[in-house]
Amino acid sequence: MSIKIAYIDEFGNNSFDFEKQGSHFIVAAVICDSTKVKALEESVDEIRKKHNFQEGEIKSSKVSKNHQRRIKILKDISTLDCAVYAVIIDKRELKGQGFKYKKSFYKYLNNLLYKELFRTYPKLELYVDEHGANDYMLEFKKYVRNHHDKNLFSGSEFDVKNSKNEKLIQLADFIAGTLGYIFDEKKECEYSSTFRTIIEPIVSNLNFFPKKNTFKEIKESNIDSEFDPLVAEASLHRINNFLEKTVGDTQQKEDQINFLKLLLLFQRVYYRSSYVLTDELFKHLNQSRDTDLKKEYFRTKVVGNLRDQGIMISSSRSGYKIPTTTKDLESFINHGNKIILPMLNRINEARSTIRLVSTNELDILDNFSELKGIVDFMNNKHKA
């Protein structure tokens, strides 16, 4: 039985110095049926010879700004029996969120690419170039080996292989570089629209990120078997409503806005219900502050205050997330249960002690009618 094979390469880097570096990071995949690999390799080799790459690789950098040559090569590539799938990241939309750190940037991209590939191609064999200065692909290779779960993606044949001399990875390099000339602000030119028109016949999907945080988009991108649309929609509605109405005119509000935006950003890329580590959140949030966050302030003034306003945020030892499953809600309730019930029991014990020594003349809850009602209800329930 044939499977789909993807040959992947990237354009761009993790720099956020937009004066000197590009605005986009692009990962392009050339995908074909396993039964057609040999024929496709032969076709690519013919293109290599026809366009005078001699014995060298077909690389976008070798063509560079010779746009007329690129057009001729792309016209031949557009006739190949393959499909192009690409993830296109606008780094300008990530600026100020701590992604200038390579580790955070690559982690975000790894989650995103892994999820999107499996959502679109649940049965896939993957080839990447693990040689030279291909830092991102080396990191992605490690990520796949550490995270791939065949039980999560039933029937998948996902693998990463050594592909130093792979002709079809060279093709992916050329496509990724061309997409750079189409979308990156440092590479765009008068031929950008021409390049895009030429490759349209083989483009299956261009996936742009970050995306708008709509429930429809989150639902359609979901691949988590435990995803509950009712829970997810309710959670997202409250958050979007807060972000639309809140102005970051104080440090607390600014922290809350950035925190929620960051949760939304990571919610989109995780392939199953995952928590964002507190340390990772702090690394991002501290980029927009004069002084670093304190954990107590974060728990009470940021997370706690948002919960007071009706925004559901799940938490665990692993960090925080937007609830999208019933388990997430149970985590949210369990968090409150661990705090509320012990506190009510302490108040009840203190009240009972004072009533006993004062022969019921002093009730410390007389000025707290709501709390008194809750404690009385709890005591009556125990008596029953």
Same-domain status, 244 and 320: yes
Q: What is the pLDDT of residue 59?
A: 87
Cα atoms in the 13 Å half-sphere on the side-chain side of 137: 27
Last residue of a domain, one of 209, 239, 259: 209
Report which secondary-structure segment, H or E, holds 9. strand 4-11
Q: What value does the mean pLDDT take over residues 231-242?
A: 88
Buried b (16+ CB within 10 A) or exposed e, 310-335: ebbbbbeeebbbbbbbeebbebbeee
Same-domain status, 66 and 128: yes
Write down the mean pLDDT value for the chain. 84
Domain, as residue range, for 77:
4-209
**What are the structure tokens assigned to 270, written together?**
């995780």
Last residue of a domain, one of 308, 324, 340: 324
The percent of residues in the chain predicted with pLDDT above 70, rounded, is 89
Q: Give 207's strand partners.
A: 87
Q: What is the pLDDT of residue 155?
A: 54
Same-domain status, 279 and 134: no
**How many independent structural domains does the chain possess?**
3
pLDDT-based confidence at 140, cuts 50/70/90?
confident
**What are the structure tokens assigned to 89, written together?**
């990241």
Q: How far apart are CA 27 and CA 30, in angstroms?
A: 10
Contact 5, 127 (CB under 8 A): yes
pLDDT-based confidence at 53, cuts 50/70/90?
confident
Q: What is the pLDDT of residue 102?
A: 81
Give DSSP secondary structure letters for 61-92: HHHTT-HHHHHHHHHHHTTSS-EEEEEEEEGG
Residues 189-198 pLDDT 10s: 999 999 999 9
pTM, rounded to two decimals: 0.68
Same-domain status, 110 and 198: yes
Same-domain status, 167 and 19: yes
Same-domain status, 199 and 220: no
Is the pLDDT assigned to residue 162 strictly greater than 60? no
Listed ranges 59-73, 129-143, 307-321; the one with the highest mean pLDDT = 59-73
Tokens 């076709």 correspond to what residue? 43
Is the pLDDT assigned to residue 220 strictly greater than 70? no
Which has more pLDDT, 38 or 125? 38
Weakest-pLDDT range from 45-59, 163-177, 211-225, 328-342: 211-225
Same-domain status, 134 and 198: yes
**What are the structure tokens assigned to 293, written together?**
């966050």
Give DSSP secondary structure letters for 140-182: HHHHHHHH--TTTSTT----EEE-TT-HHHHHHHHHHHHHHHH
Residue 49 buriedness (CB in 10 A; 0-12 / 13-18 / 19+): exposed
pLDDT-based confidence at 133, cuts 50/70/90?
low
Q: What value does the mean pLDDT take over residues 248-269?
A: 85
Last residue of a domain, one of 160, 175, 209: 209
